[in-house]
Chain A
Amino acid sequence: MSLSREAIVEGLQHIVGPEHVVTDEQVLVQSSVDNFRKLQNIFDVHTMPVPAAVVMVQSTEMAAELLRWADEQGVNVIPRTGATATEGGLESAVPDSVILDGSPMDRIIDVDACNMQATVQCGVPLQALEDRARELGLTTGHSPQSKPVAHLGGLVATRSIGQFSTLYGGIEDMVVGLEAVFPNGQICRIKNVPRRAAGPDIRHVVIGNEGALCFITEVTVKLFPYFPESNRFLGWTLKSMTTGFEALREVMVSGFKPSVARLYDPGDAGLHFSHFAADDDCVLLFMAEGPPGISRATADGIQAIVDTYPECTQVDSAYIETWFNDLCWGPDKIIAEDERIRQTRNVNRTTEISADWSSIGEIYAAARDRIVAEIPDITMMGGHSSHSYINGTNMYFNYFFNVVGVGPEEETTKYYLPIISIICEETLKRGGSIVHHHGMGKARAPWVKDEYGSSYYMLETLKQAFDPSGIMNKGTIFPI
């Protein structure tokens, strides 16, 4: 029989001490959602089951004890660190869940400039690690827009990616080793080595698990030398996304590694670049970084390629540099955006997918056209490609709509999920992936079998093996 809410709180207090168990009603209610249902927090209208408690996890051993207990008692556990999730990964899908909050584990354990790696606890904000690395002339190379607020545990758990990924890679290219705790209380450490061929790479069981398999307690990531003085910026306006994708592809397949390579469609460009781009202009931009010689060669190579596209009109690089200097979203911007939504009921949402070069343009156009035709109250429908690879790129759909005729709690059912549904359908139809970097969360879990196809067997087997009682973040990745 499942434990009552009171018994759960008592059990937790017994294990970790009452001072680490939060039961404040407002905290609990706000913890029932993440950014996927952010309107519920903005308008203070809540519909999700309220968690029983938030436990402030202080150590790996504490996490192990808590998980063992939850596993025995069948209590649903939701790991959390920075709480910037966008896809419902932090939503309490079932009543009386327990949030395991790793943010108190915020120690930078080691910054090793000789071996170019840093080890941190899961609750270290990426910005804090980046600041420490910069003191030594180094960088993590990881720069998601949420850098000031996201923590290393969550960044690894979601398979996050940063704005300089085309050079440094996603988090999966940066994680050297880690420590994680499984639901039976087993603590596993994956050692820090440059590479090994001793069987499958088990880091990937942990990276991207979204709290559905284990709780990440410690992470070791690579460090890189930091050369801000040799940054170079390049930008063009052009009228066609098809041409933009072609130019982007040519840069990538020619072997160049800019840190930033982006193509904005006119709608999205209008949000950031209307001071130099016309309202039907796309914007193609690059940043090259690294040691001066490499940065110069990269910029010159890209320039030579884009110069062969007569449709592209070069813009002053100062426009791109100024845009670059204001990329990240700290608490100030998040609060201002919430206030804008509260007043205007105009909501900004994003959905990111990936596909090969042959399909990405079609997916972009098909999804955009359907959304504009089928969804009411759209105020902007656009997107950009921001992470490119030798074989394809991503598309970050960026869209705004007015919430009309329904309460804030119905925003997801009237607008957001139908839009996600269109994007997933059009992407799957053309062989792309429905999630490029935000994680499946609970929002896109209904499509997991279509996403994986026959390989779903492997994913499902991982869940059964590591979380046989199904207590880890119910509804995330695996729909209920």
Chain B
Amino acid sequence: MRILVGFKVTPDFESLREADWIAGEGNLADGAGVETRYVPRLLNCFDESALELALRLRDAAAGRSFVEPQLSAVSIGGSQVEPFLTTLLALGYGRAARVDVGADVDFAPAAVASILAACAHDSDGGDVLLLGCRSGPGDGGTVPFRVAETLGWPCLSQVVEIEALSGDDLRVTCLADDCLLRVTVRPPCVLAVGNAVVSRLRVPTLRDRLARRDVLVDVLRAADLGIDIDLLLEREPAGLIGLEAVRRARAGVVVGGETPHEKARHLLDDHLRAVIERL
């Protein structure tokens, strides 16, 4: 089985200050959006789960003398993506590629989906395409479904666990509204990973890195995949037009008092008694 994981490298939005978001607004007219150049880059959290789940499938196959899946990873992006790809090569991904489209595709889910579908279609692509179910602020969560539609493959979303069965079948656990669905699927398929318990990617040793030092990251252009990126972006003229801060502050008070006893009394008298009496 060939597993292709598509992942996105995102700015560390957490380390942007509120002022950074607002400052970006001034640039919106010229399309520059939020200024994220100065913050470190991270693996999108759902994609990180997907990358680790693929490695665990490989490990499990080795443990059960199944045929080991061949792992590949692909990301759309510039040179900033390379350190992540070399890490994946050191971890045992057979192939790591980036598609350099030379344009911002943050608000172009159809273009992203076309690129990922083309990668999966490629001769070195995959029977299973693993993706994160979404990728951060401004994302609509439609990419996995669009890719599946383009490929004509079934898509399971909110995947939290994947287990290899005999043959090429997979048992996939998905989180539904209030239950877990366990489904057996036969590839090809697209699996969109959600809030999986496995959320962190393992780390290669310096020796692993040394051993894979000579394996190079593939750099592809959209045209290499038969894609006219300008045409796709023309069809999808979306961009950032505004930002609004969402206030997430919880209502709360600091309970006064010097000692735990005093604090308990304040809590009861000032805050709880009225509620209890209403009950």
Contacts and interface: CB of A to CB of B under 8 A. Distances in A.
Interface in A174-229: none
A372 B201 CA distance: 22
Interface stretch (B33-41, B150-158, B181-189, B232-240): B33-41
Nearest to B39: A322
B206 A379 contact: yes
Chain A contact surface mostly: mixed
A110 interface: no
A423 B104 CA distance: 46
B205 interface: yes
Contact of B205 (A275, A322, A377): A377
B15 interface: yes
Interface string A322-346: 1001100000000000011001101
A272 B83 CA distance: 13
Interface string B189-227: 000000000111111111000000000000000000000
A274 interface: yes
Contact of A275 (B41, B203, B206): B41
Interface in A245-278: 270, 272-275
Contact of A379 (B15, B20, B37, B203): B203
B142 interface: no
A318 interface: yes
A325 B15 CA distance: 8
A108 to B, nearest CB: 13
A346 B202 contact: yes
A217 B201 CA distance: 44
B199 A379 contact: no
Nearest to A342: B200
Contacts, number: 53
Q: Name the residue among B80, B200, B204 with the largest chain A CB count within 10 angstroms.
A: B200
B39 A274 contact: no
Given A270-B83, A316-B38, A325 B17 contact: yes
B205 A344 contact: no
Contacts of A401: 205
Contact of A272 (B40, B80, B201, B203): B40
Given A316-B38, A325-B15, A275 B202 contact: no
A326 B13 CA distance: 12
A346 B83 contact: no
B188 to A, nearest CB: 29
Nearest to A319: B38
A28 interface: no
Interface in A381-413: 381, 400-402
Given A272-B40, A316-B38, A319-B38, A326 B15 contact: yes
Contacts of B80: 275
Interface in B27-48: 37-41
A318 to B, nearest CB: 5
Interface in B62-107: 80, 83
Contact of A279 (B17, B39, B83): B83
B38 A322 contact: yes
Contact of A343 (B17, B40, B200): B200
Contacts of B41: 274-275
Closest 3 CB pairs of A and B: A322-B38, A346-B203, A343-B200
6 contacts: A321-B38, A378-B205, A379-B204, A380-B206, A402-B202, A402-B205
